[in-house]
Amino acid sequence: MTSGLIIVGLIVALALWIMSIYNGLVTLRQRTNQSFADVDVQLKQRHDLIPALVETVKGSAAHERETLDAVIRARQAAVAAPNVEQKVAAENGLTSALGRLFALGEAYPDLKANASFQQLQTELGDVENKLASARRFFNNATQEFNSAVQRFPAVLFASALGFHSLPFFSAGDNRAEMEQAPNIKF
């Protein structure tokens, strides 16, 4: 009888311990989801500014069609990206395309002096700063979640409970392309 109670007590303690770990992982996953939603809000603001920017550039640099098309395609890919991994890749492509678009301002003095272009460039710069902060917060939340999933003893059953490591929001393989100086044609 006493050994039966000890076994039942151990089973209940084990169940409570696993439930505690599960609830902790759920909390961390929700924090990661919430932080990615913050990133998504900033990305939406960025996506909303791009059509106005492209229209402004069209007026001053209409023959830079290739650059404008690249920005539009990159924006469409970023808006349509279905998951975090594809969204990160698409946003990195969009950042690179925007860099080439802003470089046009250096090649076309009329465009650089255009008040609308300057305002859009300032607004986009503000959104980029907020986006950088949101990305840092997301990556911190992701690091905390990934550490919890990979730490012992959660690593023993986290995968069986549906918890897997999440990707970070980083420049990844596109970093070299993003840091490369744009090719400007005169």
- What one-letter code names the amino acid at 178? M
Q: CA 168, CA 141: separation in Å to the nearest integer?
A: 10
pLDDT (0 to 100) of residue 62 = 67
Q: CA 123, CA 82: separation in Å to the nearest integer?
A: 26
pTM of the model: 0.74
Residues 6-13 have a mean pLDDT of 94
% of the chain with per-residue pLDDT over 90: 32
Structure tokens at 4: 């039966």
Closest CA to 79 of 89, 68, 69, 90: 90
Convert the pLDDT of each residue in 86-145 to its tens digit: 888 888 888 888 888 888 877 777 777 788 888 888 888 888 889 889 999 999 999 999
